[in-house]
């Protein structure tokens, strides 16, 4: 039974919060109003007679409808579509020589985290598989206060100054006259803006690469984007860049596949994250830092404070200092994922901001958007945003205040409250800003060190594998092919030619136009009336690096099939041993196996063993899987060989360069596919690892080859002919 409220309890408001809410009784749990009144009839409104009008006095109906009418809050202007999870962070080794933050100095501590992933441009109802940047925001609940790394899966950004952020988002959002297209950058207004902003070209290379269509949120990197400061106990400062490195490697889908997944399952990434955590396959990332001493700030050929630049890992190595594990899904999507409030200004002692002009603007923007969305400065009291460290200040009242403060003092300094709360000295954990020297004039301008717009775009493109370069070209052809204004296409081609002339030429051929000779495009498309136009031109800087291995996904981890999804195509009469032996081998390595058949329900194997089929060719598709296997069994093979949907499933998997394996007894099925003539003559390990296709009688040997092929992820050589009808 709930605790009885005594009269004396009401004298102390703190005791009210300790009283057990009246939710459960010995006789069950009852439906109530928001103020705790048990509801007798939740099926009918109060009426004036059996067929009479509804009475306005029905306060139960009014509360229910009013609450429903106000359930939605404004969605985020950017990063509206997201999914999230709880977890923890563990430090490998202290780094006190760089920062005094306890988070990075106490090993053996599991710091709680909440991580939200998101697309940027689309609305809440858009698809997970849009070509877009992915948000990667991490909230650490530390003993020194909440600390947020609010980043993306791409380490740079489109613009250098927050002044241009509204323009960027207005350009990429659906065009205002017709609200088209949703969650896509392939339209005139976006590329009009980009064509006048040479500083965007590095980010464009990333956004047009496969990084913008990840296979899974669990298989993408995260970056803090900006350069921050670490400050140690001696007050010494180091610049720092943050990296999240997924232990599953960095993998993507292909664009044709992404478009089809959007139609088959628009929640593909959201569901993938949820199911992985529910199954116990907890996603993991290592946190890496690139450290630059204060004295080395100006030693690079780029500006550390320029958010359109990376620090290549060949110049400054990434030190992996800890691991983050996501192990619990949210209990309530709205209360947690929708109401979580991130801010790059949520700092802790030992970490500070820099003069990055994009970061400076974000510090204002994030607080402002929380006020708009969550209705009050008291959004920090929402459970998902509440710090685990004590909160003591004189901030009172306001909309939706939840804390019940006691006492008569709400100011500082004071004597009536004993001087509390006290200011903390730096030695007591008080936050102190880095005492950076400032001696300059107020001015609206851009540093000359920010005018290099092409060297790192070139570095990124040159670092890609042949397949990745081809995908970038295809992406640009698709995007610019949707642009209706010829002048915009031409301006983009001029910019692309300054990245790589072969890249620009390939896109120009597809668009059916020539690269214009006039190379004169001003920075930001314009310049102040009293300024010399020459000072706003892009600077030509040659990178000291030809390539950077870390920029190519070709060099990612390829030693595991953990959580990879494999479709096993079956029909009545399947060879039970051929099926079960492969299934067991895949699952032993962490693979996830689904049986896909012409229809749902029970399926009988050759030995009359029954399998339950939950996926059919009608309800699923090859684009939702990483690999395909066809077991033997005379009747099953004959059925699949005559089933058009089964053949399409295989052809499409082949087109998307996925591993395919079959029992030798299932050769009849593969013979009916378009790619049958491309089958290897022999299925040695060398041939399988070249083609991604395996076949054999010995399932144990076959499964070993198949597992190695799945770990490889894709076999891009299949794209070269480009003639698979699927």
78-87, 168-177, 677-686: range with lowest mean pLDDT:
677-686
Cα–Cα–Cα angle for 579, 583, 585, nearest 5°? Answer: 125
pLDDT band at 721 (very low <50, low <70, confident <90, very high): low
* Residue the block writes with tokens 């500083």: 199
Residue among 86, 105, 146, 152 flagged as catalytic: 152
Please list the residues that pair with 322 across neighbouring strands.
91, 287
CA dihedral 698, 704, 708, 711 (to 10 degrees): 110
Length of the chain equals 726
Report the distance separating Cα 171 and Cα 714, nearest Å. 34
Tell me the per-residue pLDDT of 602-611, one tens digit each, with 9 for 90 and over.
999 999 999 9
- Residue-by-residue DSSP string for 568-636: EE--TTB-HHHHHHHHHHHHHTT-EEEEEESSSEEEEBTT--EEEE-EETTT--GGG-SEEEE---HHH
Q: What is the mean pLDDT of residues 656-676?
A: 97
Per-residue model confidence (pLDDT) at position 19: 43
pLDDT at 531 over 80: no
- CA-to-CA dists, residue 171 to 153, 209, 254, 502, 614, angstroms: 21, 20, 25, 28, 44
- Residue-by-residue DSSP string for 80-147: -SEEEEEEEEEESS--TTT---GGGT-TT--EEEEEEEEESSS-TTS-TTSSS-EEEEEEEEETTEEE
pLDDT at 640 over 90: yes
Report the distance separating Cα 73 and Cα 251, nearest Å. 34
Please list the residues that pair with 617 across neighbouring strands.
none
115-124, 255-264, 679-688: range with lowest mean pLDDT:
679-688
pLDDT at 14 over 80: no
Report the distance separating Cα 196 and Cα 171, nearest Å. 12
pLDDT at 677 over 80: yes
By DSSP bridging, strand 592-597 and strand 565-569 are: parallel
Catalytic residue at 44?
no
Per-residue model confidence (pLDDT) at position 307: 98
Per-residue model confidence (pLDDT) at position 521: 55
Task: Read off the tokens for 158.
Answer: 């489109």
pLDDT at 188 over 50: yes
Per-residue model confidence (pLDDT) at position 479: 98
Phi/psi of residue 290, each to 5°? -105, 120
Q: Which of 281, 265, 254, 264 is nearest to 626 (CA)?
A: 254
Catalytic residue at 298?
no
Contact 553, 533 (CB under 8 A): no
Per-residue model confidence (pLDDT) at position 524: 52
pLDDT band at 249 (very low <50, low <70, confident <90, very high): very high
Per-residue model confidence (pLDDT) at position 8: 43
Per-residue model confidence (pLDDT) at position 243: 98
Tell me the per-residue pLDDT of 478-504, one tens digit each, with 9 for 90 and over.
999 999 999 999 999 999 999 999 999
Q: Which of 153, 76, 85 is nearest to 122 (CA)?
A: 76
Per-residue model confidence (pLDDT) at position 251: 97
Tell me the per-residue pLDDT of 506-516, one tens digit each, with 9 for 90 and over.
999 999 999 99
Contact 266, 183 (CB under 8 A): no
Per-residue model confidence (pLDDT) at position 722: 62
Tell me the per-residue pLDDT of 205-227, one tens digit each, with 9 for 90 and over.
999 999 999 999 999 999 999 99
- Other CB atoms within a 10 A radius of the CB of residue 708 amount to 17
- Other CB atoms within a 10 A radius of the CB of residue 642 amount to 14
Report the distance separating Cα 402 and Cα 379, nearest Å. 10
pLDDT at 41 over 90: yes
Per-residue model confidence (pLDDT) at position 537: 80
Provide the H-helix boundaries in 199-324.
Answer: 201-207, 255-264, 268-278
Residue 180 in 3-state DSSP?
strand
User: Which helix (H) or strand (E) covers residue 718, if one does?
Assistant: none
Report the distance separating Cα 36 and Cα 20, nearest Å. 13
Q: In angstroms, how far is CA 472 from the centroid of its own chain? A: 20
- Other CB atoms within a 10 A radius of the CB of residue 301 amount to 15
pLDDT band at 681 (very low <50, low <70, confident <90, very high): confident
Report the distance separating Cα 232 and Cα 226, nearest Å. 20
pLDDT band at 446 (very low <50, low <70, confident <90, very high): confident
Contact 597, 571 (CB under 8 A): yes
pTM for this one?
0.92
Query: With 0-12 CB in 10 A as exposed, 13-18 as middle and 19+ as buried, what is 392?
Result: exposed
Contact 209, 471 (CB under 8 A): yes
DSSP state of 134: E
Helix-then-strand count for the chain, H and E:
18, 20
Tell me the per-residue pLDDT of 118-143, one tens digit each, with 9 for 90 and over.
999 999 999 999 999 999 999 999 99
Contact 513, 490 (CB under 8 A): yes
Per-residue model confidence (pLDDT) at position 10: 38
Q: What is the mean pLDDT of residues 365-386?
A: 92
pLDDT band at 321 (very low <50, low <70, confident <90, very high): very high
User: Which helix (H) or strand (E) covers residue 237, if one does?
Assistant: strand 237-246
pLDDT at 477 over 80: yes
Percent residues over pLDDT 70 in the chain:
93
Q: What is the mean pLDDT of the chain?
A: 92
SS3 track for 36-69 = CCECCCCCCCCECCCCCCECCCCHHHHHHHHHHH
Per-residue model confidence (pLDDT) at position 517: 82
CA dihedral 118, 86, 108, 390 (to 10 degrees): 100
Task: Read off the tokens for 179.
Answer: 């609200």
């Amino acid at each position: 039974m709930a605790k009885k409220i005594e009269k004396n309890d009401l004298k102390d408001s703190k005791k009210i919060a300790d009283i057990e809410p009246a939710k459960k009784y010995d006789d069950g749990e009852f439906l109530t109003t928001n103020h705790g009144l048990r509801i007798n009839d939740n099926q009918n409104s109060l009426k004036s007679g059996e067929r009479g009008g509804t009475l306005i006095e029905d306060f139960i109906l009014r509360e229910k409808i009013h609450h429903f009418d106000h359930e939605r809050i404004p969605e985020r202007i950017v990063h509206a579509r997201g999914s999230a999870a709880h977890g923890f962070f563990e430090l490998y080794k202290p780094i006190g020589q760089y920062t005094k933050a306890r988070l990075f100095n106490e090993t053996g501590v599991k710091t709680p985290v909440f991580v939200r992933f998101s697309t940027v441009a689309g609305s809440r109802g858009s698809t997970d598989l849009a070509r877009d940047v992915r948000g990667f925001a991490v909230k650490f609940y530390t003993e020194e206060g909440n600390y947020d790394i609010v980043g993306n899966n791409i380490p740079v950004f489109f613009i250098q100054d927050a002044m241009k952020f509204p323009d960027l988002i207005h350009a990429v959002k659906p065009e205002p006259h017709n609200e088209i297209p949703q969650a896509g950058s392939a339209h005139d207004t976006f590329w009009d803006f980009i064509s006048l902003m040479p500083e965007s070209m590095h980010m464009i290379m990333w956004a047009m690469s496969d990084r913008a269509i990840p296979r899974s949120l669990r298989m993408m990197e995260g970056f803090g984007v900006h350069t921050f400061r670490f400050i140690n106990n001696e007050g010494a400062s180091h610049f720092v860049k943050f990296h999240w490195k997924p232990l599953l490697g960095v993998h993507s889908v292909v664009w044709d596949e992404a478009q089809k997944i959007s139609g088959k399952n628009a929640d593909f990434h959201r569901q993938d994250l949820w199911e992985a955590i529910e199954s116990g396959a907890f996603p993991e990332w290592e946190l890496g830092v690139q450290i630059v001493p204060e004295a080395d700030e100006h030693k690079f050929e780029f500006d550390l404070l320029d958010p359109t630049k990376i620090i290549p890992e060949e110049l400054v190595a990434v030190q992996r200092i800890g691991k983050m594990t996501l192990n619990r899904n949210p209990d309530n999507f709205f209360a947690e994922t929708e109401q979580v409030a991130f801010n790059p200004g949520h700092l802790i002692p030992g970490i500070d901001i820099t003069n990055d002009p994009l970061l400076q603007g974000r510090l204002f923007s994030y607080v402002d958007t929380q006020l708009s969305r969550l209705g009050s400065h008291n959004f920090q009291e929402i459970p998902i945003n509440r710090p685990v460290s004590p909160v003591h200040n004189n901030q009172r009242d306001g909309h939706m205040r939840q804390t019940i403060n006691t006492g008569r003092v709400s100011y500082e300094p004071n004597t009536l409250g004993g001087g509390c709360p006290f200011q903390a000295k730096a030695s007591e954990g008080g936050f102190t800003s880095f005492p950076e020297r400032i001696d300059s004039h107020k001015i609206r301008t851009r540093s000359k060190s920010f005018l290099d717009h092409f060297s790192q775009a070139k570095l990124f493109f040159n670092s890609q594998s042949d397949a990745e370069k081809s995908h970038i070209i295809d992406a640009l052809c698709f995007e610019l092919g949707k642009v209706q204004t010829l002048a915009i296409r031409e301006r983009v081609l001029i910019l692309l030619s300054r990245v790589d002339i072969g890249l620009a030429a390939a896109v120009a051929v597809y668009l059916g136009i020539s690269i214009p000779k006039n190379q004169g495009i001003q920075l930001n498309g314009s310049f102040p009336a009293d300024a010399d136009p020459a000072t706003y031109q892009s600077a030509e800087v040659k990178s000291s690096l030809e390539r950077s291995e870390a920029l190519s996904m070709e060099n990612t981890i390829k030693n595991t099939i953990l959580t990879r999804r494999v479709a096993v195509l079956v029909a009545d009469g399947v060879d039970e041993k051929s099926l079960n032996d492969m299934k067991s081998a895949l699952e032993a390595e962490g693979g996830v196996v689904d049986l896909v058949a012409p229809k749902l329900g029970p399926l009988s194997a050759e030995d009359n063993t029954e399998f339950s089929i939950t996926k059919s060719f009608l309800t699923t598709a090859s684009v939702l899987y990483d690999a395909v296997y066809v077991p033997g069994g005379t009747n099953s093979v004959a059925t699949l060989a005559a089933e058009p949907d089964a053949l399409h499933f295989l052809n499409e998997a082949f087109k998307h360069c996925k591993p395919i394996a079959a029992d030798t007894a299932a050769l009849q099925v593969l013979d009916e596919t378009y790619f049958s003539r491309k089958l290897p003559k022999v299925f040695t390990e060398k041939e399988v690892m070249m083609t991604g296709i395996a076949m054999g009688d010995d399932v144990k040997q076959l499964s070993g080859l198949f597992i190695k092929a799945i770990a490889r992820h894709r076999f891009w050589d299949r794209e070269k002919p480009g003639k698979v009808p699927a």
